[in-house]
Structure 1
Amino acid sequence: MVAAEAEDHRTGITGRGCGMDNLFRPAEGCAVMADHVLLEAGDDLVRQLSHEREAVKAVLELVWNSLDADATKVDVVIERAGTTGVDKIVITDDGDGITPEKARTAFKQVGNSDKRVGGATDRLGRPLHGKAGRGRLRAFALGDSTRWTSTARAVDGAMMRTRIESDIRRRTTWAIDSQPAAETDHPGTKVELWGKQAHHLNKLLEPKAVTQITAALAPYLLTWPDVQVTYDGQRIDPQTQIHAEEFEDLSFDYEGQSHPFHIRLIHWRTGAERTIALCDDASAPVESLDVSAEHADFSYTAYVLWAPMPQHRNEIHLITLGGDTPLAPLLRVTREWISTRLEERRRRQRRQLVDRWIEEGVYPYPRRAEDDQARAEQTTFDLVATSINRHITGDRAKKRLTLSLLQNSLRHNPDQMVEILERVLSLSGDDVSHLHGLLQQTSLSNIIRASSIVTSRLQFLTALEHLVFDVETYGAVKERDHLHKILERELWVFGEEFNMMRSSEIGLTRMLKHHRRAVGWDSTPDAPVRAVDGGTRRVDLMLSAESHEYDRVRHLVIELKAPSVDADREQALQVDDYMQAVLKEPRFANIETTWDFYLVVRSVKDRLKPALRQANKPEGLYSEPTQYEHASVRVWVRTWSEIVREAKQRLEFVKNGIDHNPSLEEALAYLRHRHGDLIPDQLRQPTAVPAPRADMAHHPAV
């Protein structure tokens, strides 16, 4: 729509103007008619396409417009308004400019840019970036008032100067006026943007803005070194910012076909740029994907070059919605390749940094680990220490102290290591998130944690043997005051599956309640449970677990005896009495339940041993009634030597890996640390440990 055909009732403009004091008022004495071009799009669409809060991207769009006009020099000037931030943005170039004819066409519609026809500029044959016809709308992200002043050679060969203006109030209307240029004028365009008071414009003043612009323009500027772009007084020179480059020809599968593409990965020396730029095959960006949450320890841009990329503009959002787009497999292959390359770079950096620490004498480990446990710990240490290297500063003594702190935290408090480092080193939120992610992604920290658990358990088993077998100790160890309470904290001794559900020192009624709750029944007893003789009984420990192998609930009822008590028929009958109470009580009935009753003792008297060595039955099985169909029940007499041996066998595969055979001193130290409030008084203070006695050479066994 050209308003020169009739007087515009909104502006009163009836003639052409060579200059304008404001948007819709011609300067006095002007002889050139001004045209008003109405953008054929709704104001709400124009507002949406301008992306008004993306200031850096808006500047980039205007720079690309200059480059698409074959400019060799582009200068972005940011004028400050005192302390209030950005006042005005001016972008000038020495490109071919905008002819009057092109201005009236380009500013009249959204989309269908003439750049879509062909992929190179007319004069220099450089690749075109803008192909969507939306770049000029980004200007409203930078200024409420906009003005293009461009000098170009018109169709008839005359040099013409064209001015195009609009403002935020009438963003769909562009005032265009043209006049002959002076003889000394050269082609080029000047874009002026002002009048926007918005906090997001201050992002243009941040160092990150230069980083983003450098990353976006890098392939173009590296390919066309004669092009010079200056931003806020600083030349954009990606060559000085590149740490390394990697290239690869890859392919992805989509709809049964293989699609080749090229990737160029630039590692930046500084900054926090992490972007995947989706480009056409001439490196002209089409879309960009912010991947700042990935590989936070590096600054990089991955340029994905694929010829059909412009056909898939604006399809990135379809991936999260599960939409069908070739960008999904393309990005999956890209991300996997990036991860592989960056992980290799991490390994190189870790090796170099650790070698430097070793040379400085601050590294807290020997150069070569001696066993699997040490290697696991040392590898995780290297992983964490090198990732927070910038916090490990100062002189040699300070570095050694920091690295020793990290070693100690990793070895003894792996679960709290990040929190400890956060407090001591004042890590930033990004550092903390990165460390958490790092330790979640690696199994090494889990190996250390598992090794720490196994080491502690081996120490406990050594201490337990000392408690129940040492003739100078076991007489002081009581059943309820010591042994019972200690084992409540170490239930893994009886099987890892019993380390969770437990009840301690309960009567038969509570045992029924516990059982019914475990099998999913109403757990409220309607009457007390009595033993066969009508009396009450109390069991030391009742442990329960789901047996996934047999799809049953397994109960383990344990009767402990002090080490000074040897098992006889009397003690065996006591446990058998518990078993009979279960069998004769209908409220215990459940065919999907297995009951094992343990009498656990230091040794067994000779007259009980025949009952524990019956033909065709496991050794130690005292009773297994078969006449009761509603439950599977067994009574066992177990010695501590058997239980300790089985526990050690379960730990053996890790024990061999970590090569840890704890001494008695280490075992007692663990016992004091973990159970100092429960052990006999004579064991609470470290003393000289006597040599093993001859009667401890062989543990009493069944």
Structure 2
Amino acid sequence: MSNSSTLKVNLSDDHLKRVSRANPIQAIEELIWNSLDADATKIFLRVESNEIGNQTIVIEDNGSGISEKQASKYLGFIGNSWKATKSETESGRPIHGQKGEGRFKAFSLGRVVDWESVYQQDGSFYKLTISLNSDRANEFSVSTATRSKVNKTKSIIRVSELNKKVAVHNFDELKNKLTQTFSSYLYAYPNIEITVDGYLIDPNEAIEDVSEYTLELEDVAGTHQIKIIEWLEISSKQLLLCKNNGTVLKEHKFQPNRVRNLGYSFSAYIISDYITELNSDSSLDLIDMDADSKKLLDAAYQQINEHFKTKRSNERLLRLQGWKESGIYPFEENNDPGVIETAKREIFDIIASKVEDNLPKFANSNHKTKKFTFRLLSQSLENNPQSMQAIMTEVLNLNTEEQNEFAKLLEKTSLSHIIRSAKIVADRLDFLESLNTLVFDHKKSLLERDQLHKILESESWIFDEHFALAGSEKRLEEVLNIHLKILGKRCEDDSKVLINNERQGRVDLMLSKSVEVRPGHKDFLVVELKRPNKKIDNDVIGQIMGYAQAVNNDERFHKSNCKWKFIAVSNQFDDIAEMRANNIGLPKGCVHQENSIEIYVMKWSEVITNAKARLKFYQEQLNYEADTESSMSYLHEIHNEFVPEEIREQA
């Protein structure tokens, strides 16, 4: 270049390569920041291309330019930028750069960088050009300044001979990316215009909402804020680290699972004195490894989550109010719905919201159709919460991420389990109430095997939560065969098992523990149900002891590998049974205990009371009280064919 001088950059090639490293978007952002730091109010960016690909990247601005003196004094040094001693531009705007590295980021775009500058000095305007080449990154040429024909300051940077990746890079999202980076700045300084390939970035068009919060950090000096900008059309979830003056330094990747994905598009700007300090120390890249930085990031994540949690809650309230006002909401007004109802409503509200958002036909449906749809959804949720997954997937056509989020809601959070578990507890409380009615109010009409026994076949939890129904109405030798099968051993001896050497025994209900106590060892429960109006007396005790004796004396069982508990149940004891059920030194109701056999006699009132005691904690948490109506409703729904005729007639 004629009338030019070559200046050296006093850094090694390795250092220059490091400071010039950036992705294409970051490099363009740095060049735009240079324009803003030069007090530019109008910045034009264009990517010139042809059928082969991108050819040149041009950034033009109306900033103050760079003088010949400034070029000679500062461009040869990194860390000696004129910005290092200033925090504001001449017009009072915050300065982004301080290290003098930004211009070298242009090398990540292309091999040749030409910089044309028009500056003002002593009332006159001068023009000079600066040329840089990545082949000789440690030197640059500066032309001799000449009088400018244009009496306006400006800068034009042209990056040519683009790198291969940049030449084929798709810059379609460039406008959106730059909007996210500079919107906070443009929002604060509305007189500044940035135009990208003919499109003016207008933050007001892209921004849905702006919220600012102060972050309180213990033992971390300085002021710390977070600004959350929510976007209308831009799809983004972005965290940006900013100096205390609000200028963006870099994007920071969200740590996994720290921010809940609620579907909002936003950019969060952490504005902090501490980030300014880290940047000055060239340690911003180590922000995840620093204790004080962790406090800052933790506070930011917490505030972001809280912000969108509140936003989602407010949106739901507005939507919910609309449903109620239009009369399509399927739940009645209730100021104290309890845990079960609350869980149902929470899941329903989420599903119904998805229906509105994802089914355009629903929004255009008439009132009757909407009301019917919501009623069907609520009934599906009531009867089978897991069916909601199919609805969300097959009906609403949610994308994979949304499907996974909803599956996580149903499977890994408590809501669906609350509904399922709460329904089990509520049904059990209703059953206990109805059983109390059956055995005490209708004992004359209740038959042993046809009714009470059949009902209890599917309600065996009442005796012990750890036992599951294994067999019913089996001759005692069949019970022994079941025992042998579970233990994994068989014997070819099929001889009858006799009780008192006289007759075959029968049991009404047999329950086996669902889990081995330890490998090869099982616990068994044998329940002898008596008609509620049949008192337990010495004969009944003898009968159940006969069962126990038959098991205990049979050679086909390894007594060391099994434990048996026998129970006879009815409404009343005679005096002898009452005395034997209260033996000193034995658990209440235990009439015999030796080695692996226990024999109990129990009243139905005790069985029901013990079962209620096991459910008491859950009942209190669910705020559920079984009444006659709910309990008899459950009885008719589940066990109607076994209910005495006189009760069915009352229904």
Place the TM-score, normalised by the shorter chain, in its bin.
0.7 to 0.9
| Residue of structure 2 equivalent to 1:133 | 100
Deviates more, 1:409-418 or 1:440-449: 440-449
CA distance in 2, matches of 1:240, 1:441: 39
1:361 aligned onto 2:333: no
Shift of the 564–343 alpha-carbon distance from structure 1 to 2, 3 Å rule, reads: same
Q: Contact 1:75–1:91 at 8 Å: present in 2 too?
A: yes
Shift of the 139–416 alpha-carbon distance from structure 1 to 2, 3 Å rule, reads: farther
Shift of the 412–63 alpha-carbon distance from structure 1 to 2, 3 Å rule, reads: farther
CA distance in 2, matches of 1:440, 1:477: 38
| Residue of structure 1 equivalent to 2:238 | 275
- What pairs up with 1:448-459 in 2 under 5 angstroms? 448-458=419-429
1:540 aligned onto 2:510: yes
Q: Contact 2:240–2:268 at 8 Å: present in 1 too?
A: yes
CA distance in 2, matches of 1:417, 1:448: 13
Shift of the 199–434 alpha-carbon distance from structure 1 to 2, 3 Å rule, reads: farther
3-state SS in 2 of match to 1:362: coil
CA distance in 2, matches of 1:580, 1:332: 65
Q: Contact 2:125–2:152 at 8 Å: present in 1 too?
A: no
1:93 Cα deviation after fit: 0.8
- What pairs up with 1:273-672 in 2 under 5 angstroms? 273-291=236-254, 294-313=260-279, 318=286, 323-368=289-334, 371-372=337-338, 373-386=340-353, 389-393=356-360, 394-397=363-366, 399-400=370-371, 402-436=373-407, 443-458=414-429, 471=445, 474-476=448-450, 486-487=457-458, 492-496=461-465, 498=466, 540-543=510-513, 556-561=523-528, 568-577=540-549, 588=560, 597-602=565-570, 606=574, 609-610=577-578, 612-616=580-584, 618-625=587-594, 634-638=598-602, 642-652=606-616, 654-655=618-619, 657-661=623-627, 662-670=630-638
CA distance in 2, matches of 1:337, 1:383: 23
3-state SS in 2 of match to 1:252: coil
| Residue of structure 2 equivalent to 1:237 | 202
1:427 Cα deviation after fit: 0.7
3-state SS in 2 of match to 1:164: strand
CA distance in 2, matches of 1:86, 1:434: 40
| Residue of structure 1 equivalent to 2:65 | 97
Q: Contact 2:60–2:157 at 8 Å: present in 1 too?
A: yes
CA offsets 1:225-246 (integer angstroms, 9 cap, x no match): 2211122322222234333333
Q: Contact 1:61–1:138 at 8 Å: present in 2 too?
A: yes
CA distance in 2, matches of 1:376, 1:356: 20
CA offsets 1:203-261 (integer angstroms, 9 cap, x no match): 5313xx4444223223322332221112232222223433333333342123xx65442
| Residue of structure 2 equivalent to 1:75 | 44
| Residue of structure 2 equivalent to 1:266 | 229
Shift of the 353–392 alpha-carbon distance from structure 1 to 2, 3 Å rule, reads: farther
Shift of the 232–439 alpha-carbon distance from structure 1 to 2, 3 Å rule, reads: farther
- What pairs up with 1:115-264 in 2 under 5 angstroms? 115-121=83-89, 123-143=90-110, 145-153=112-120, 159-166=126-133, 170=135, 172=137, 175-179=140-144, 180=146, 182-184=148-150, 186-194=152-160, 195-198=162-165, 204-206=171-173, 209-254=174-219, 259-264=222-227
Q: Contact 1:112–1:133 at 8 Å: present in 2 too?
A: yes
Shift of the 76–371 alpha-carbon distance from structure 1 to 2, 3 Å rule, reads: same
| Residue of structure 1 equivalent to 2:649 | 691
CA offsets 1:469-502 (integer angstroms, 9 cap, x no match): 68466443697xx678x45xx5543344x16899
CA offsets 1:77-110 (integer angstroms, 9 cap, x no match): 234545x775543221111223345446665555
Deviates more, 1:154-163 or 1:282-291: 154-163
CA distance in 1, matches of 2:498, 2:285: 72
Shift of the 331–689 alpha-carbon distance from structure 1 to 2, 3 Å rule, reads: same
| Letter of the structure 2 residue corresponding to residue 476 of structure 1 | D
Shift of the 223–477 alpha-carbon distance from structure 1 to 2, 3 Å rule, reads: closer
CA distance in 1, matches of 2:168, 2:175: 14
Q: Contact 1:276–1:290 at 8 Å: present in 2 too?
A: yes
Q: Contact 2:527–2:567 at 8 Å: present in 1 too?
A: yes
1:578 Cα deviation after fit: 7.3
Shift of the 100–269 alpha-carbon distance from structure 1 to 2, 3 Å rule, reads: same
CA offsets 1:278-304 (integer angstroms, 9 cap, x no match): 322211223433449534332333333
1:597 Cα deviation after fit: 0.9
1:349 Cα deviation after fit: 1.2
CA offsets 1:125-181 (integer angstroms, 9 cap, x no match): 3211123433234334444554333333589977132132435xx373565342435
Q: Contact 2:526–2:564 at 8 Å: present in 1 too?
A: no
Normalized against structure 1, the TM-score is what?
0.72
Identity of paired residues, percent? 24
Normalized against structure 2, the TM-score is what?
0.77
Q: Contact 2:109–2:163 at 8 Å: present in 1 too?
A: yes
| Residue of structure 2 equivalent to 1:61 | 30
Q: Contact 2:467–2:511 at 8 Å: present in 1 too?
A: no
| Letter of the structure 2 residue corresponding to residue 667 of structure 1 | L
| Residue of structure 2 equivalent to 1:677 | none
CA offsets 1:599-649 (integer angstroms, 9 cap, x no match): 254567758724643354554211134xx6xx8x63213455543443244
Q: Contact 2:243–2:249 at 8 Å: present in 1 too?
A: yes
CA distance in 1, matches of 2:382, 2:32: 54
1:74 Cα deviation after fit: 0.7
Q: Contact 1:148–1:192 at 8 Å: present in 2 too?
A: yes
CA distance in 1, matches of 2:106, 2:567: 85
Q: Contact 1:100–1:162 at 8 Å: present in 2 too?
A: no
CA distance in 2, matches of 1:244, 1:581: 81
Q: Contact 1:215–1:301 at 8 Å: present in 2 too?
A: yes
Deviates more, 1:536-545 or 1:605-614: 536-545
Structure 1 unmatched ranges of 5 or more: 1-16, 18-30, 516-522, 673-681, 694-702
CA distance in 2, matches of 1:162, 1:192: 11
1:381 Cα deviation after fit: 2.6
| Residue of structure 2 equivalent to 1:25 | none
